[in-house]
Structure 1
Amino acid sequence: MDTGDTAWVLASSALVLFMTPGLALFYGGMVRAKSVLNMMMMSFGALALIGVLWVLYGYSMAFGNDIGGGLLGSPFEFFGLDGLFGINDDFTAKSLVATVPSMSFVAFQGVFAIITVALISGAIADRARFGPWMVFAGVWATIVYFPVAHWVFAFDGYESETGGWIANDLGVIDFAGGTAVHINAGAAGLALALVLGKRRGFGRDPMRPHNLPLVMLGAGILWLGWFGFNAGSALAANGQAADVFVTTLVAASAATGGWLITEKIRDGHATSLGAASGVVAGLVAITPACSAVSPIGAIILGLVAGVVCALAVGLKYKLGYDDSLDVVGVHLVGGLWGTLAVGLLATDAASAGVDGLFYGGGLSQLGKQAVGALAVLVYSFVLTLIIGFVIAKVMRFRITEEEEVVGIDTTVHAETGYDLDSLGGGSNTTVRDQARAEARNIEGSRA
């Protein structure tokens, strides 16, 4: 056991955990005022539930010894972290992954599982009941995320003798989760948005972010936490972690510029929402490639990600799916670009030690990246459609139209994000009053 490596992995775990409250702020600021608490609660709900499931059986399904063709780890090998928890008389760990205690690796991978589930919630903002969302989160993590984490992150000889097929047999380079986290969550977000349907007034009514300072604060927290997300994946305080830290930094910076330039050319102005979204797009895209590209390659990758994702967020209006907060446009598209970019921009000067097409490496690595990305996309999309459809039929996943008009915070949580009555200075008309009046009008028109 190396104490420096252990300290870095534990610190990185805390940084990645901090990303989920950051995501709650990012998503919460992007929705309308009447939905902010529900939006944030879905992230905190994922924190509450997935952390428990991860300890009970999730870690074992992801990193237990493979029980079938690289598809799944044994759910019972480390059930309740049996055999991993505890220390020796000299306070060293009973079990190691590389040079760190298994329990620090459990913590690090557990916060990855949490934020992956939370990411999906942005696609269904304003219209999902909290109880069915929690059921979905638990089922999806069990059936989709834990197996995919085994495919991508379980390397032979790490925690168990044999691991997942994408990491070991296919040879995909995905340093920190472009497939397992971002493509996985993006495909699931698209499927769930199709199951729940469009928000009332989608494409017609303005649905602007209600608090852009919250959005930018959330993006800043995500950027900070992402250094733990990517550089922490080195599992060591070493030169690879330092290289990854820099490629992560510059890719996000370049993507922000790419997004803002695209906005300026397309719309005539650069926005704060675009800056925050560009940061996240660059971080998503560099996640799989951060150990494979040079700093210049990271800048190119990030710049392209900013432009492509800025254009991709408009697809929902052309294709007619209501991805509320652009999970598809940023995480699915950004994750796909970053994963495929390894096959183009990778250089053997980086720690991954592979040359992509542009460095004379041919098409081999690009093909591997494409197969891995497509496998995760299809698996996640199809399984999420099935899970979402069943929950919608059994539990009524979506709120009613009247509840949506009044506001999901009021109707589902019996709370409001802001005490608008006290700010009214004695006025008898509040936003909630107006929403209720609109709901009554809807009922009257039906009658």
Structure 2
Amino acid sequence: MFDTGTTGFMLVATSLVMLMTPGLAFFYGGLACKRNILGIMMQSFVSLGITTILWFIVGYSLCFSGGAGGIIGNLDKMFLNGVTITSAFSANGAIPEIVFISYQMMFAIITPALITGAFVNRVTFKAYLIFLVLWQVLVYYPFVHMVWGGGLLANIGVLDYAGGIVVHATAGFAALASVFYVGSRKDRASKPNSLPLVAIGTALLWFGWYGFNAGSELNVDTITPLAFLNTDISASFAAITWLTIAWVKQGKPKFVELLTGSVAGLATITPAAGYVSMPVAALFGIAAGFVCYYCVHIKNKLGWDDALDVWGVHGMGGVLGTVLLGIFASTAINPNGADGLLYGGGSFFMIQLIVVVAASLYAFVFTYIMLIAINYITPVKVSDDEEHQGLDMSIHGEMAYDIHLI
């Protein structure tokens, strides 16, 4: 009944995307100071559990059931009602619906976890758990439905291959809003505790991103390997571009700059991986290296304490990639895509530009309001004493390393 090759590929892609969440935990955990390693890693790992439960209960249904042309789906598939082992994914019939459910669930797991790097060691765990649920229901699910679930934005021609708008722009600007709400760390001079851990996290993210992008074809065809290779090309060009700029400015070729640049390239190609050519993917990477680097520089100059550069790397990477898609997309590459500005698609370019700006603004404003509301339920910000002691011990009662080494 199903295409076994495509089904096998999608199960591998699903596993790769799942691996990205632990990868993100290692990436953020290595960048945090020694007193906050477990706190930031916990925020990623807990999403594996909470988001899976939420996805099973209402998430999949709200994203992909009903609501054609609308903002959100319906509740017809709550608790995966009606989904059986023989149910086919309706878009192509080649894979079981349960594989599609699993694949999309992994996207839902990592998206809110991306935000956590911005407010490392400043948010209580109780508040984060509430945030994790509300943000998905009121920000992530609507955009998934509107873009990928046959909703409003899909109907007006918006394209987002693997999450430039849905994942990175919304998460990045939500991260910026959270920074404005919680304020700066008391100790902004704290150094990363383990660059090797950051490298492991980057490697897992880069590896998992092949499933993130190539898997978003939801099939095995000529576009699948294109998305795979475009992912690597953009990441590589961005990594070297970022490293070069930082080397010139700082006088030394720093490892963390190379790693951060690669993630910027991965985020930037995400909305376009299956819609542009390989030379264009290289341009995406170069643009990501320049634009995201200078966004981080501007953020630092303005004093925004986005601790792990979520806005500059993921938020602006998602925005940049979406806008560049509006310029460089070509139906000669992917007939299921669109022609960008360079190929006469001026209206498509404007749609991409307007929607990514609107999505970013919505995520920013709603996140800020939501944090205010959560603060009425439980304190969002940790106390000064908790921040000074570190969230690992003050909230979780655990330490990553022997206390005498800190």
TM-score by length of 2: 0.96
Provide the C-alpha distance between the structure 1 equivalents of 2:16 and 2:309, rounded to a whole number of angstroms.
24
Structure 1 stretches of 5 or more lacking a match? 88-92, 155-162, 424-430, 432-447
2:139 is aligned with 1:144? yes
Aligned position for 1:9:
10
Mapping for residues 43-442 of structure 1, pairs under 5 Å: 43-66=44-67, 69-74=69-74, 76-87=75-86, 93=87, 96-98=90-92, 99-154=94-149, 163-167=150-154, 169-202=155-188, 206-351=189-334, 352-358=336-342, 360-421=343-404, 431=406
For residue 320 of structure 1, report the CA deviation from its aligned partner: 2.9
For residue 95 of structure 1, report the CA deviation from its aligned partner: 5.7
Q: Percent identity?
A: 40
For residue 316 of structure 1, report the CA deviation from its aligned partner: 2.4
Provide the C-alpha distance between the structure 1 equivalents of 2:266 and 2:172, rounded to a whole number of angstroms.
14
Provide the C-alpha distance between the structure 2 equivalents of 1:148 and 1:257, rounded to a whole number of angstroms.
33
Aligned position for 1:159:
none
CA deviation digits over 1:109-128, x for unaligned, max 9?
Answer: 00000000110111110111
For residue 397 of structure 1, report the CA deviation from its aligned partner: 1.0
Residue pair 2:182, 2:381 contacting (<8 A) in 1 also: yes
For residue 314 of structure 1, report the CA deviation from its aligned partner: 2.1
Partner of 1:152, secondary structure, is helix
Provide the C-alpha distance between the structure 2 equivalents of 1:112 and 1:18, rounded to a whole number of angstroms.
11
Provide the C-alpha distance between the structure 2 equivalents of 1:85 and 1:277, rounded to a whole number of angstroms.
42
Provide the C-alpha distance between the structure 2 equivalents of 1:72 and 1:54, rounded to a whole number of angstroms.
14
Alignment: residue pair count: 403
Provide the C-alpha distance between the structure 1 equivalents of 2:285 and 2:108, rounded to a whole number of angstroms.
25
Provide the C-alpha distance between the structure 2 equivalents of 1:218 and 1:8, rounded to a whole number of angstroms.
23
Distance 1:94 1:306, change over 3 A: closer
Provide the C-alpha distance between the structure 2 equivalents of 1:36 and 1:139, rounded to a whole number of angstroms.
25
Residue pair 1:189, 1:323 contacting (<8 A) in 2 also: yes
Letter in 2 for 1:236: N
CA deviation digits over 1:228-268, x for unaligned, max 9?
Answer: 00000111122110111111110111000110111012222
For residue 277 of structure 1, report the CA deviation from its aligned partner: 0.6
For residue 217 of structure 1, report the CA deviation from its aligned partner: 0.8
For residue 391 of structure 1, report the CA deviation from its aligned partner: 1.1
Provide the C-alpha distance between the structure 1 equivalents of 2:263 and 2:114, rounded to a whole number of angstroms.
12
For residue 353 of structure 1, report the CA deviation from its aligned partner: 4.5
For residue 94 of structure 1, report the CA deviation from its aligned partner: 5.7
For residue 357 of structure 1, report the CA deviation from its aligned partner: 2.5
Provide the C-alpha distance between the structure 2 equivalents of 1:201 and 1:30, rounded to a whole number of angstroms.
14
For residue 213 of structure 1, report the CA deviation from its aligned partner: 0.5
Partner of 1:200, secondary structure, is coil
Partner of 1:100, secondary structure, is coil
Letter in 2 for 1:188: A
CA deviation digits over 1:301-321, x for unaligned, max 9?
Answer: 111101111111122233232
CA deviation digits over 1:386-407, x for unaligned, max 9?
Answer: 1111112320111111111111
Provide the C-alpha distance between the structure 1 equivalents of 2:55 and 2:18, rounded to a whole number of angstroms.
14
Distance 1:220 1:95, change over 3 A: closer
TM-score by length of 1: 0.88
Residue pair 1:354, 1:361 contacting (<8 A) in 2 also: no
Cα-Cα RMSD? 1.4
Letter in 2 for 1:190: L
Residue pair 2:85, 2:96 contacting (<8 A) in 1 also: no
Provide the C-alpha distance between the structure 2 equivalents of 1:400 and 1:214, rounded to a whole number of angstroms.
28
| Runs of 4+ deviating beyond 6 Å | none
Aligned position for 1:428:
none
Letter in 2 for 1:11: V
CA deviation digits over 1:36-59, x for unaligned, max 9?
Answer: 000100001111101110011001
Mapping for residues 30-45 of structure 1, pairs under 5 Å: 30-45=31-46
Letter in 2 for 1:40: M
Partner of 2:84, secondary structure, is coil
Q: Which has the larger radius of gyration?
A: 1
Provide the C-alpha distance between the structure 1 equivalents of 2:88 and 2:351, rounded to a whole number of angstroms.
36
Provide the C-alpha distance between the structure 2 equivalents of 1:295 and 1:420, rounded to a whole number of angstroms.
49
Letter in 2 for 1:357: L
Partner of 1:313, secondary structure, is helix
CA deviation digits over 1:262-291, x for unaligned, max 9?
Answer: 101222222111111111100000000111
Distance 1:119 1:266, change over 3 A: same
Moved more, 393-402 or 100-109: 393-402
Distance 1:94 1:229, change over 3 A: closer
